[in-house]
Amino acid sequence: MSDAAKPGALTDAERLQALMPQAVISIDVSAGDVRVMVRRESIVDVARLLHDDPEFLYTFFSECLGVDYLDVHTGASIQGKAHRFEVVYNLCSLQDPASGALRNRRLFLKVPVPAADPEVPSVTSVFRGAEFPEREVYDLLGIRFSGHPDLRRILMSDDWSGHPLRKDYPLGGERVQFPGGTTGPSVGECVVQHAGESFTGRTGSVLGDVE
Amino acid sequence: MPANPATDPAGRTLVGMASANAQGITLDPIDETTMVVNMGPQHPSTHGVLRLVMELDGETIVRCTPHIGYVHTGIEKTGEYQTYMKAVTITDRMDYLSAHINNLAYTLAVEKLLGIEIPPRAQALRVMLSEIQRIASHLVWLATHALDIGAMTAYFYAFRDREKLLDLTEMMSGVRLMPSWIVPGGLRGDAPDGWFERCAAVVDELPMRFREYETLLDQNPIWRERTQGVGCITVDECLNLGVSGPTLRASGMAYDVRKVAPYSGFERYDFHVPVGTFGDVYDRYRVRLAEMRQSREILKQAIETMPDGPVRVGDRKVAPPPRQELETAMEAVIHHFKLWTEGIRPPAGEAYVPVESPKGEIGFYLVSDGSNKPWRMHERPPSFMNLQALPGLCQGRLIADVVAIIGSIDIVLGEIDR
């Protein structure tokens, strides 16, 4: 983590807010990471500005991912969030526009997504690399990406029902969705937490055949 | 880096993936003269269970569609049910050829959440383990890549030498492939007696081995014919697709996380970032061979400058007390018990630390809700992102080039499917 990159990404976030005040909800800095909360209807425009603008040059699409904040016990989102899901875009600016020197400026764009209408405009028109990650978010969390060229399941089988990374989707105990499958055991029945593991007992020092 | 085709003996020019379309190959509508061929998921050249559906016009690929997910095991979901310390073990199983580096990426994210700094000796040992792992992973790539193209001898030589590197991991952790030795708070334990001597012996031997592989492949006319000018990709295309690592560097951009955003003290070592010019299969081969040499340089420096001291942080809420303390101090027993029953509790927040894996940029996006288990554990899978380049790389090429191209982007399906 180069110290020089930290204020740089914050400068960019503030400039983004000045250029598109209606799109940026908030800017959050923690432990050197800069996260910008963006309205979901503006995400494509924000991505395009960051990609094209000669002073931003966020040309490297690192990835995007989804997070489900649902607390299954209360039915509300944790940490007092008003929305259930967030899609996080991880963008990088690798070259200084003036000098051409390599740098590592990283900006996390976060888009809040409500549970009632889990749909986000796809950024594949700006970053072609969003194709697989957006399919993965759709597959595992059920967030649809409008305008995606090929929005199909990617990791689960095509006829799977449900989205496994959602917090209300069980780990273990669900019906196995293949012909001839049975109901598996739940995790609670299998995992017994225990104390008593230790760090000692490594092998290797007995080899001793150093030339 | 400017490309100068006049000086290149093979007469290669820098062309991007879009050039196939420029040559008049149209995608839609599906022509009646094309044929659809299925490759995989059970195919030795797809490096796991990758399935490619290819539409062919004669021997030329018009369209290539990858299908993945055959070894999806829900690792990210499982991670949400493990304590932070236990989740280390499932990170090994993602990219099973570079387990140390997966552990390191996960661990750095947890340590960022905790806001702790680990002792210098642990940092230096982490650097050594990740470079040992990088060479071992590149050797598997070299062996299988060469085998796919028909060069069988390199396979045996590379696996012979990889074994010596895995022996070092085994000596340290007792395990060859899934060590989980790098954990939040440092390492599980120090290097055993004789480890550095053995490591130095391997490091001394490596340059001779690298020359050996080059003798087999570098000037081999068949190898050159199969790799030069095949599967070209430009820097802009790489960045737009999220492609990183040796594939990006072979196209000419020296983006290496170890240089631009150093972690674990990589800034203390003197090494270069090899780049290619033409972004073809041959350049990706050259870049990885050069990278192995640089990793060997880092190992050499790390052995010479290895600091003394502990390999775990002193904070008993993060790392367990030494064994001997458990016999005399009640507090140590309590700490030990709490750590293994309840685990670490990082404050609520989010963290991502990029790390350079043999495949590209890897990092874990962790979301903590303040409990002892991650709320969300997501890996940025470099193989998954790099795979997106495959359809473009194959388009307009012959079907025989597909195995060369798959080998050159170096994918591990365990990481793609997770």
> What are B114-151's pLDDT values in tens digits?
989 899 999 999 999 999 999 999 999 999 998 888 88
> Given an 8 Å threshold on Cβ–Cβ distance, is A90 in contact with B380?
yes
Cα A184-B51-A179 angle, rounded to 5 deg: 30
Question: Per-residue pLDDT for B3 more than 60?
Answer: no
Q: Specify the pLDDT at position A188.
A: 47
Q: In 3D, which of A47, A59, A45 has the Cα closest to residue A103?
A: A59
Q: Is the per-residue pLDDT at A177 higher than 80?
A: no
pLDDT band at B288 (very low <50, low <70, confident <90, very high): very high
Contact B367 A61 (CB under 8 A): no
**CB-based contact B242:A61 (threshold 8 Å):** yes
Q: What pLDDT does A5 receive?
A: 44
Q: In this structure, are residues B252 and B277 in contact, taking their beta carbons and an 8 Å threshold? A: yes
Which residues in A lie closer than 8 A to residue B387 (C-beta atoms)?
A: 132
Contact A104 B354 (CB under 8 A): yes
Domain layout of chain B by residue ranges: 75-416
By the CB < 8 Å criterion, does A166 face chain B? no
Confidence (pLDDT) at B2: 40
Backbone angles phi, psi at B365, to 5 degrees: -90, 105
Which of B378, B409, B413 is the mutation pick for testing A, counting most A CBs within 10 A?
B378
Give the separation between CA B337 and CA A62, rounded to whole angstroms.
40
Contact between B173 and A63 using a beta-carbon 8 Å cutoff: no
B282 touches chain A (CB under 8 A): no
Note the pLDDT tens digit of each residue in A101-139. Answer: 888 888 999 999 998 989 999 999 999 889 999 999 999
Q: Which of A57-71, A160-174, B337-351 has the lowest mean pLDDT?
A: A160-174
Of B21-25, B43-47, B302-306, B320-324, give the lowest mean pLDDT range.
B21-25
The per-residue pLDDT for B120 is 93
H-run or E-run covering B391: helix B390-394
Given the cut 0.95, state whether the ipTM is greater than it.
Answer: no
How confident is the model over B57-87, as pLDDT tens digits?
888 888 888 888 888 888 988 888 888 888 8
Window 41-60 of A, Cβ < 8 Å to B: 59-60
Q: What is the mean pLDDT of residues A15-19?
A: 86
Q: Which residue has the higher pLDDT, B66 or A207?
A: B66
Q: How far is A117 from chain B (nearest CA, A)?
A: 22
CA distance A127 to chain B (A): 5
Which of the four pLDDT bands, split at 50, 70 and 90, describes residue A16? confident
Partner-chain residue, chosen from B74, B254, B262, that has the shortest CB–CB distance to A164: B74
pLDDT in the model for residue A176:
60
pLDDT at position A180: 57
- Give the mean pLDDT of chain B: 86
Chain B: residue nearest A204 by CA?
B171
Q: Is A197 on the interface with B (CB under 8 A)?
A: yes
Please report the sign of the dihedral spanned by the C-alpha atoms of residue A157, residue A161, residue A162, residue A164.
negative
- Give the pLDDT confidence score for residue A152 in this predicted structure: 87
Q: Pick from B171, B243, B365: which is nearest to A88 by CB?
A: B365
Task: Establish, for the pair of chains A and B, how many residue pairs have beta carbons separated by less than 8 Å.
Answer: 166
Interval B351-361 mean pLDDT: 92
CATH of B75-416, one of 1.20.1330.10, 3.30.450.40, 3.20.20.70, 1.10.645.10: 1.10.645.10
B78 close to A (CB below 8 A): yes
Contacts of B417 in chain A (CB under 8 A): 155
CB B355 within 8 A of CB B112: no
Instruction: Say if the Cβ atoms of A104 and B380 lie within 8 Å.
Output: no
For the residues of A107-139, what is the DSSP string, one character each?
EEEEEEE-SSS-EEE--TTT-GGGHHHHHHHHH
Chain A, 119-138: which have a CB under 8 Å from a chain B CB?
127-133, 136
In tens, the pLDDT along B224-251 reads: 888 888 888 888 888 999 999 999 999 9
As a whole number of angstroms, the longest Cα–Cα distance in chain B is 81
Phi/psi for A66 (5° steps) reads -120, 150
- Residue B354: pLDDT band (50, 70, 90) is very high
Q: What is the pLDDT of residues A63-84, one digit of tens each?
A: 999 999 888 777 788 888 888 8
pLDDT band at B25 (very low <50, low <70, confident <90, very high): very low
CA–CA separation, A78 vs A74, rounded Å? Answer: 9
